[in-house]
Chains A and B, each alone.
Chain A
Amino acid sequence: MAKLSLQRLGKRFAQTVILKEIDLDIASGEFIVLVGPSGCGKSTLLRILAGLEEADEGQVILDGRSINRLPPRERNMALVFQDYALYPHKTVYDNLAFGLSIRGTQKHEIQQKVHAAADLLQLTGLLQRKPAALSGGQRQRVAIGRALVREAQLFLFDEPLSNLDAKLRTEMRMEIKRLHQRLGKTMIYVTHDQVEAMTLADRIAVINHGRIEQLGTPAEIYQFPATTFVAGFMGAPPMNLLTLPLQWSAGNATAFIAGQALPTHPLENTSEKEITLGIRPEHLRINDSTLNGQPGLLLNAAVELVEPLGSETIATLRLEQPTANLEQYTVQARFPGNQSISNGQNLQVHVAYANLHWFDSNSGIRLTTSQASSAEQVA
């Protein structure tokens, strides 16, 4: 089985640092998603694993053996490319069979494996076609089939769904998840789409500027983001991040929002003047009886924009400040779709103290410690 360990991996192109001190242990059979914005280095990391790029520093250890110097063909990994990268001069059958025939597999065995993969991916009727005669979804299926046929020990996906339309993307996402459940192979999947990351991953590595900002299960990443970057990147709409002024008295800091004093997470650095407060849009609630008994924050707000989505409504709210000279805060809230909200409406929204996230305004690092141990923090 394929157990992969990345140790202090680094990569630079000329003077630009692409990857920096990447440490990551991937268990056999695990589905890891590398997620991050364009240019964060996630695809480069995948290519280093595949052997298409060389790391400048660090080791890639596969089942206890360093594979840094192994050429791609000896790594027994399969990579599904964003642009499919099918062989345009070969039929679907030959595309699927190529990897086997180049490795000297017997003809009847090739035939058997190609047909098995074609069955699984519903490509049987298309085997004699050339890639040009296939739709985008079919091409991507062939690309996945090519990886499947070879029975690679590790599957790498480089944004495989980003060229498909929304409906097809959802379908293929489910197929990939089913495939993982069925095959139980180690899979590493690169995407900038947080929905793909959340739905597919056993664990997510959020990458930013060539570093892993946070590694954790989808729930950990969502509920306890380690940095403001992760908080802002995962979730749609993203977590509201508000920079609040701090007042110090007798070594205790108090933050202020909408004229209300708010007890903050204990701060070590007594010279801090600001703190960042994070609130998930779904944690802002209107007249919510479930808040009864829970200590929380009560905010007056005016509705600026309403985006009804059917099952839910996204509302942009401007928080009321007691005096006009204070900083104005705008937040996004997610309300149930049956709640009637209209532009210009004045609301009172609650948020439980337990649902507040605190971050250091300078470093962006999470301050609340309640779940910090589960949210492995590298940054």
Chain B
Amino acid sequence: MLKLPLRWIAAAVLLINGFFPALWILLTSFKSDIELAQTPITWLPQNPGLSNYIHAFSDQPLLLFLGNSFAVALLSTLLTLFAATGAAYALTRLHLRHRGLILTLLVAVAMFPPATLLVPLFEIMRGLGLINTYGALILPYAVQSLPVCTLVLASFFQQVPKDIENAAMLDGCTRLQALYRIVLPLSAPGVFTASILAFVNSWDEFLLALTLNAAPGSRTLPVGIMLYQGEFTFPWPVISAALVVAIVPLAILIIVFQERVISGLTTGGIKG
């Protein structure tokens, strides 16, 4: 256990490390190109204004990128949740053979560096005719998020007492109904956690998005933001504004969901 002052110092280092880049991007988004190039640097914008934001939306179809990203992230998250729920339930509740091996393989899949999958994925998506569509990203994103989401959900399912589920099945539920009407609601914090993980994973992804879905109409945010830079120019303030626009929905999502990630939801159902 760290002593109290040490704990505060550790917390401060973590906070600064985490927040400073985001704060710097936010401050930059309100500065002009000239102010940014000044030395000594200014910390607070001297003439804060929204011109960078206006440029961000007018120079590139930022709204379209946002919509694309949102659609891809949402659909891949739903797909991940659907598959991960089934997988996690099977791993925790059904008497599977080679359960340990399946878990190991699941973790192994999550360890693959995405770059090694790039060429095969491109070939597969081309074969499926999905290049430059949402589908080209939704499927691999779902696969990427699946292992960690399955593990998260499995650990929450495990905490739901088996007899509550048995009671539901005696009450008239099929196994699937018991899963969706009893086990999932009781694992809500786990579902929210898995959703956030899957959503953020899709929202941030750049490499696959650039390779599999770079057509102007279906570009996602990370690829779109790259377009703000010219051959010889880096309009950092405008890029920063676009980045802020990209970060804000995610931040709101996390804050809203975090409130729901409450523990102790199963209190009182069984003795204890």
Chain A positions near chain B (C-beta within 8 angstroms)? 50-52, 71-73, 75, 77-79, 81-89, 98-99, 102-103, 130-134, 136, 139, 146, 150, 163
Chain A proximity of B92: nearest CB distance (Å): 16
| CA of A72 to CA of B266, assembled, Å | 23
Q: Does B127 contact A (CB under 8 A)?
A: no
Contacts of A87 in B (CB 8 A): 164, 167-168, 182, 269
How far, in Å, is A114 (CB) from chain B's closest CB?
13
Complex contacts, A85 vs chain B, CB 8 Å:
161, 163-164, 166-167, 269-270
Q: CA separation between A75 and B177, bound complex, in Å? A: 17
Given known A-B contacts A83-B163, A89-B186, A136 and B271 have beta carbons under 8 A apart = yes
Judged by DSSP, the binding face of A is loop
B161 contacts which chain A residues (CB < 8 A)? 83, 85
A217 to B: closest C-beta gap in Å: 29
Show 14 A/B contacts (Cβ-Cβ < 8 Å), sorted by A: A52-B169, A73-B169, A75-B170, A81-B166, A83-B161, A84-B269, A85-B161, A87-B182, A88-B265, A98-B171, A99-B171, A102-B181, A130-B268, A150-B171
Q: Flag if B270 contacts A84 (CB, 8 Å).
A: yes
User: Contact between A102 and B177 (Cβ–Cβ < 8 Å)?
Assistant: yes
Are B170 and A50 in touch, CB under 8 angstroms? yes
B172 interface contact, C-beta 8 A: yes
Contact across chains for A102 and B164 when beta carbons are under 8 A apart = no
| Extra contacts besides A78-B170, A79-B166, A102-B171 (10): CB < 8 Å | A50-B166, A73-B170, A84-B270, A85-B163, A88-B265, A98-B168, A98-B171, A132-B267, A133-B268, A136-B271
State in angstroms the CA–CA spacing of A134 and B173 once bound together: 25
* Top 10 A-B pairs, shortest CB-CB distance: A132-B268, A88-B269, A99-B171, A85-B163, A131-B268, A83-B270, A102-B172, A85-B167, A72-B169, A83-B271
Task: Tally B residues with Cβ within 8 Å of A.
Answer: 25
Chain A CB within 8 A of B42 CB: no
Bound together, the chains give a CA A98 to CA B168 distance in angstroms of: 8
Known: A81-B163, A85-B161. A134 touches B170 (CB 8 A): no
Contact with A along B232-272 (1 / 0, CB 8 A): 00000000000000000000000000000000011111111
Tell me the minimal C-beta distance from B37 to chain A in angstroms: 57
CB neighbours of A103 from chain B (8 A) = 172
**Contact, CB under 8 Å: B268 / A86:** yes
Q: How far is the CB of B78 from chain A (nearest CB, A)?
A: 22
CA distance A344 to B177 in the complex (A): 67
Chain B 187-220 residues near chain A, CB threshold 8 A: none
By a CB distance below 8 angstroms, the chain A residues around B177 are 102
Please indicate the chain A residues that have their CB under 8 angstroms from the CB of B173 in the complex. 73, 102
With CB as the reference atom, state the residue of chain B lying closest to A81.
B163
Judge whether A79 and B172 touch: CB under 8 Å: no
Residue of B nearest to A133 (CB): B268
Contact A73 B268 (CB under 8 A): no
Does A73 lie within 8 Å of B269, measured CB to CB?
no
Give the CA-CA distance A146 to B172 in the complex, in Å.
12
Is B67 engaged at the interface, CB distance under 8 Å to the other chain? no
User: Are A83 and B268 touching (Cβ within 8 A)?
Assistant: no
Q: Distance (Å) between the CB of A90 and the closest chain B CB?
A: 9
Indicate if the CB atoms of A131 and B170 lie closer than 8 Å: no
Residues of B contacting A82 with CB < 8 Å? 271
Alpha-carbon gap, A73 to B164, bound state (A): 14
Q: In the bound complex, how far is the Cα of B268 from the Cα of A98, in angstroms?
A: 17
Q: Flag if A134 contacts B268 (CB, 8 Å).
A: yes
A88 touching B170 by the CB < 8 A rule? no
- Whole-angstrom distance from the CB of B174 to the nearest CB of chain A? 7
A97 to chain B: closest residue by CB = B171
Residue of B nearest to A77 (CB): B170
List of A residues within 8 angstroms of B182 by Cβ = 87
Residues of A within 8 A of B172 (CB): 73, 99, 102-103, 150
B272 closest partner in A (C-beta): A83
